[in-house]
Structure 1
């Protein structure tokens, strides 16, 4: 029975030199395909880790077991017809050369899969819902809700597009936001001293951009 090992080097030393060479070849192939991966022993087997467990391998009586997860097998079933395999394991018999090119492809596939999953997980972790119910992905480039920011800029900027008399008229009436403006009828706004007909299209456009209209 194999003693408990803590590294792949120790695992390999448990076997005859000829087997060590075979396992080292497999190890080198995995390392070349996934240079980002770190080595560890997991479940008593050599394991390669990159954003999660990548692949395992282990020595059995008549074969080397290769464990690239179910996805790493289902993606290569056509190329695995010459080997025994199950949902999560592939058997590489000792009496056949290791299919190094295939192993490399499977490892690269699993590496990309792990990185894609990690990126999606990180992306979901950044998903935020602002107080107005808008979904956005928070980042250093987008720390606040871009929809609200756009509306706020539009809401704050519409007054600047009005003439000075029209601006004073709105402020004197206590109208400082588009939400407040939407509570008025167009006719009521036109009654304000300083507001002329040319101001209404500017107000209508600003209201429309923010999903609002004058009171009917």
Structure 2
């Protein structure tokens, strides 16, 4: 969604506003993520699609002019995965990709495993 556009009120509205190739790519990544976390919720947070787990943000997806992004929302996890997956394009806690080169299912599984473990540990520490 171009900067300055009215924010989307749903994940589908966000995706529908994108160029077709970008929308197809983000839907494909989102579908894998949802399959990996069947009880995940989907919301718009900070004007982009966000998957939630146990009521907490898990990962977000977004589109920009030159790439698509998977926001891990965890700099420590992103640093660890960047060291393990040096062929991926990382910037801070974000994995960048293009419609022609989506992250592999194995990469998405590692992201989800790491983020779910972080959320579970944080909630367990709070007695939830």
TM over 0.5: yes
1:57 counterpart residue number: 61
Per the TM alignment, residue 65 of structure 1 is displaced from its structure 2 partner at its CA by 1.2
Higher relative helix content = 1
1:80 counterpart residue number: 85
Separation in 2, partners of 1:61, 1:104: 26
Corresponding position: 1:39 with 2:42: yes
1:7 to 3, 10, 18: 10
Q: Within 5 A, what are the aligned runs for 1:50-199?
A: 50-51=53-54, 52-68=56-72, 69-122=74-127
Q: Which runs of 5+ in 1 are unaligned?
A: 124-216
Q: Please report the TM-score for the alignment, with normalisation by the length of structure 1.
A: 0.52
8 A contact 1:48–1:55 mirrored in 2: yes
Higher relative strand content = 2
Separation in 2, partners of 1:100, 1:80: 13
Larger radius of gyration: 1
Separation in 2, partners of 1:18, 1:58: 13
Separation in 2, partners of 1:75, 1:32: 24
Q: Please report the TM-score for the alignment, with normalisation by the length of structure 2.
A: 0.84
Per the TM alignment, residue 74 of structure 1 is displaced from its structure 2 partner at its CA by 2.2
Separation in 2, partners of 1:59, 1:100: 19
Q: Which runs of 5+ in 2 are unaligned?
A: none
Return structure 1 stretches of 4+ with deviation > 6 angstroms. none
8 A contact 2:7–2:47 mirrored in 1: yes
Separation in 1, partners of 2:76, 2:42: 21
Specify which structure has the bigger relative contact order, considering alpha-carbon pairs within 8 angstroms and separated by 6 or more residues: 2
Cα offsets for 1:141-166 (capped at 9, x unmatched): xxxxxxxxxxxxxxxxxxxxxxxxxx
Aligned length: 123
